[in-house]
Amino acid sequence: MNAAIARARAQAALTDLRPQPDDIAADAIAGLSAAPKTLPSKYFYDAEGSRLFEAITRQPEYYLTRVELALMEAQMASIAQAVGDGVHVVEFGSGSGRKTELLLDGLQAPVAYTPIEISRTALMDSVTRLGQEFSDVQMLPVCADFTRPVSLPRADRPAQRTLVFFPGSTLGNFSDDEAIRLLRSMRDTMGDDGCALIGIDLDKDPAIIEAAYNDQAGVTAAFTLNLLTRLNREIGSDFEIDGFRHRAVYARERMRIETMLVSERAQTVRIGEHAFDFGAGEVMHVEISQKYTDASFSALAARAGLRVTHGWNDGNDRFGLRLLQPA
Ligand code: AVI
């Protein structure tokens, strides 16, 4: 490790609240006891899952990341003007380093950066790199599940306001109720004068959306199945990985991708003393990816006490960024 990396690591004061195997097992047992069966998509992101997700973002069919990045590049000056200067940026997830770089680079003199991220490795890698690149921005990482309340580390230099950053349409991976809870928690984190910049994937031709979640190279399928590998390793379940198949369908009436693992045969999966029977063809719901219209997103934000003050879309209305403030 070179000296600059060692210094950046040492300066990044880490608060570590990562999930323990007992929590993961309890969530898996609850999901497999439900009808239909479910598993929480938040556990996709172990080291291999994070690597596979990065690979998804490079697939030709997965337009979301490319379009959002291009949108940020094109609109950063306008975004910076709407946000104002001297902000403490709080990112829910450490996500794509490139988007954070564009933001920290494009904003006027941001004072601090707090990513809240469940994967310790992803978190430390991102602040180590960003700490070297943005030496005037204090790195204050928090290792935690961002869906639970987190108290924000205080920056040494006072910030003008807090900006919550939640790109990538990750909000779409939560049910409406969970998304509202998350938006309310952003509302608490930002305070009365703060704001949130949120990336949302927009409703469009279902063929374009379905292709993005069923890439030809099979990277998304590997990403979905990796959830089972992770559970086997971390909580001692005995999923047979080749006993399940990835399926992602756009449910137009609900405007969302629904990703499932389909049981290839009748089989029993065990977690400790718990046994779960699957029929042949039985589906287990593992992820939703909500898409939005202006009306549906504004209505969701309103239910969390937020209003949309600014919006930017790419030229083809595939992806949008929205700036929210307390209503
Ligand atoms: C992280 N999230 C926004 C991705 C999405 O598009 O819902 C996760 C993903 N799942 C399958 N492909 C990508």
Coil, strand or helix: which one is 194?
Answer: coil
pLDDT digits 0-9 by tens, 203-255:
999 999 999 999 999 999 999 999 999 999 999 999 999 999 999 999 999 99
From atom 9 of ligand 1, which residue's Cα is the shortest distance away?
Answer: 53
Q: Please enumerate in sequence order all residues whose Cβ is within 8 A of that of 275, keeping only pairs 6 or more positions apart, or say none.
A: 268, 269
pLDDT digits 0-9 by tens, 145-177:
888 878 899 999 999 999 999 999 999 999 999
| Burial of 258: CB neighbours in 10 Å, binned 0-12, 13-18, 19+ | middle
Ligand 1 centre distance from Cα of residue 4 (Å): 33
**CA-closest candidate to residue 48, choices 223, 198, 220, 165:** 223
Coil, strand or helix: which one is 90?
Answer: strand
41, 42, 53, 256: which to mutate for ligand 1, most atoms within 8 A of CB? 53
For range 108-126, the mean pLDDT: 89
pLDDT digits 0-9 by tens, 242-272:
999 999 999 999 999 999 999 999 999 999 9
Coil, strand or helix: which one is 241?
Answer: helix
Coil, strand or helix: which one is 110?
Answer: coil
Between CA 177 and CA 89 the distance in angstroms is 25
Percent of residues, the chain, with pLDDT higher than 90: 83
pLDDT digits 0-9 by tens, 25-45:
999 999 999 999 999 998 998
Q: Which residue has the tokens 């006891």?
A: 33
What pLDDT band is residue 12 in, cutting at 50, 70 and 90?
low
pLDDT digits 0-9 by tens, 285-298:
999 999 999 999 99
With a 6 Å cutoff on the Cβ, whether 287 touches ligand 1 is yes
pLDDT tops 90 at residue 121: no
Between CA 253 and CA 283 the distance in angstroms is 20
Ligand 1 centre distance from Cα of residue 150 (Å): 24
54, 259, 289: which to mutate for ligand 1, most atoms within 8 A of CB? 289
Coil, strand or helix: which one is 183?
Answer: helix
Ligand 1 centre distance from Cα of residue 11 (Å): 32
What pLDDT band is residue 95 in, cutting at 50, 70 and 90?
low
User: What is the predicted pLDDT for the residue at 10?
Assistant: 45
Among 111-120, 238-247, 299-308, name the one with the lowest average pLDDT.
111-120
Q: Please enumerate in sequence order all residues whose Cβ is within 8 A of that of 246, keeping only pairs 6 or more positions apart, or say none.
A: 214, 220, 221, 224, 225, 259, 260, 261, 262
Residue pair 72/79 in contact by the 8 Å Cβ criterion: yes
Phi first, then psi, for residue 113 (nearest 5°) are -135, 120
Q: Is the dihedral of CA 257, 258, 264, 269 positive or negative?
A: positive
